[in-house]
Structure 1
Amino acid sequence: MRSSVVPASILMNALLVDSHCHLDFPDYANEQPRLLAAMAENGVGWALCAGVTLERFPAMLAMVEAHDNLFAGVGVHPDHQEGCDPTVNELLSLATHPKVVAIGETGLDYYRLTGDLEWQRDRFRRHIHAAKDCGKPLIIHTRSSTEDTIKILREEGADSVGGVFHCFTESAKVAQQALDLGFYISFSGIVTFKNAVALKEMARVIPLDRLLVETDSPYLAPVPHRGKRNEPAYVRHVAEEIAKLREIEYSALAQATTRNFFGLFKDAHT
């Protein structure tokens, strides 16, 4: 396992990490050089590309292999009912690659899909088992499903590996439950939206040593790019907003979230 220590020179330069994006999506076909250049121009040093299907995973892995500052998660998003439904062993096999630093994204979503969703819960449990077996943290997606998400994480002992609740939009109660399980909380561009009053308050009070920032590109572009296609360079706007909300220097927020990222995703390296 690689060291999770972030060199002091990197922290002093206040480089950010986009802890959740999807640079392998067709939205970015042949744009990786420009996207990486824009990241560098905006002080974004690294990005984690979360897996959503196993069919797309080989192409995503090839992309992150080609760039030292990109990492991957392997998993199948709860919205994906078609395609490969992975076994624990399949996830474990793919997670052995040195660029794979997490299991996910995974979780539950009762917003887009209805009916008997036991298959979602079964899949979620398999991802947790794989994470525990390989010792890599989980990337959690939850929407209209927090009660079951927390319940399954507790039942399966996910606190032994931890992870991150990505694109957090839930209540203070859910945040505390996640923190109690050893998970981090990640904020996306939604926190910059004028009407996201409750979420802004959450960004003020989450412990600084458990906070991450993300874009969830190509979705949820922050102000001043709201309504447009998102990209990792824009995570700077998320960090700037949270620093303002917490009344701390931007550099302090950047240093904390970068340290948190490499502390959580210990197989990532600088």
Structure 2
Amino acid sequence: MTIPPKTIAADIVDSHCHLDFPDFEGELPDLIARAHAAGVTRMVTICTKLKNEPAVRAIAETYPSVFYAAGTHPMSVATEPLARIDQLVALAQHPKFIGIGETGLDYHYTADSAAAQRESLRIHIGAARETGLPLIIHARAADDDMAEILTEEYRNGAYSCVMHCFSSGAELARAALDLGFYLSMSGIVAFPKSTELRAIFAAAPVDRILLETDSPYLAPPPHRGRRNEPAYTAHTARVGADIFGQSVPEFAATTSANFDRLFWKAK
């Protein structure tokens, strides 16, 4: 396995991964060591079903460089109980719980549960507003509804947010940025055919950009088509640096500072 060399002076943050998934079973110590060797010194592991929160929390408690967030993924809304605001607020009391979600809308695979997804999204927004923790958004094939709900809810009370693994259109990017939200750059931005997506990121303020893997999914080249892991955030950092005309150390430092600003509990 090729590990990106650690040539970056500043630390890189993988702001979104799924370390509890079966893909990584039995190898977390080695996986986290590989991340550290590649310059990725902090990771946020995301719980997508609240019934799995204890296992995800245990990972964060075991590894000093791992933090966590929890919510109900939109693709699970039809089969999981709706989260409650008080439930999410209670989870947020843990010192390593740093974000609400992931939540959002996915009309590509699960359009039949669109109404329930919208209800779930508003519940998570309420929890983000009450706790002051950032909302972590998954959006696929639902740009119009996503922009409308995020904007409407923001008028009802401010909250912070990151559009995780952003790969939607320019209009949703502008709507999110206009609200002061952040866009997270995954390995998709490194795919050869992602020209339009790279242009959307290039038009965004660099102080609103985060890095992530969404591992085990979406491995960037040269690992595309294989299992992704946090160490590979270093590959995406190199592509991001090119997009913004920065050196890799500058871009790593900028995105890490952005992460600290948004995910303030992880400082």
Q: Aligning the two structures, in what range does the TM-score lie when normalised by the shorter sequence? A: over 0.9
Is the Cα–Cα contact under 8 Å of residues 55 and 84 in structure 1 kept in the other structure? no
Q: State the alpha-carbon separation in 1 of the partners of residues 213 and 113 from structure 2.
A: 31
Is the Cα–Cα contact under 8 Å of residues 139 and 168 in structure 2 kept in the other structure? no
CA shift digits 1:78-112 (9 cap, x unpaired) = 00021232111111111111111000000111110
Q: State the alpha-carbon separation in 1 of the partners of residues 248 and 83 from structure 2.
A: 41
- Worse-superposed segment, 202-211 or 55-64: 202-211
DSSP 3-state at the match of 1:157: helix
Q: State the alpha-carbon separation in 2 of the partners of residues 116 and 164 from structure 1.
A: 23
Query: 1:245 Cα shift?
Result: 2.5
TM-score, normalising length: structure 1: 0.92
* Aligned-residue CA RMSD (Å): 1.3
TM-score, normalising length: structure 2: 0.93
Give the alignment partner of residue 36 of structure 2, picking from 21, 24, 40: 40
Does residue 16 (structure 1) correspond to residue 21 (structure 2)? The answer is no
Q: Give runs of ≥4 in structure 1 deviating > 4 Å.
A: none
Q: Match for residue 53 of structure 1?
A: 49
Query: Can you give the 5+ residue segments of structure 1 that lack an aligned partner in the other structure?
Result: 1-11
Q: State the alpha-carbon separation in 2 of the partners of residues 245 and 163 from structure 1.
A: 23
Query: Can you give the 5+ residue segments of structure 2 that lack an aligned partner in the other structure?
Result: 1-7
Q: State the alpha-carbon separation in 2 of the partners of residues 256 and 238 from structure 1.
A: 14
Between the aligned residues of both structures, percent identity stands at 44
Does residue 93 (structure 1) correspond to residue 90 (structure 2)? The answer is yes
Query: 1:116 Cα shift?
Result: 5.2
Q: State the alpha-carbon separation in 1 of the partners of residues 27 and 12 from structure 2.
A: 21
Write the mapping of 1:204-243 to structure 2, written as runs, cut at 5 A: 204-243=202-241
Query: 1:35 Cα shift?
Result: 0.9
| AA matched with 1:106 | T
Write the mapping of 1:1-270 to structure 2, written as runs, cut at 5 A: 13-80=9-76, 81-115=78-112, 117-157=114-154, 160-269=158-267
Is the Cα–Cα contact under 8 Å of residues 189 and 222 in structure 1 kept in the other structure? yes
Q: State the alpha-carbon separation in 2 of the partners of residues 38 and 197 from structure 1.
A: 30
Query: 1:16 Cα shift?
Result: 0.2
Query: 1:214 Cα shift?
Result: 0.5
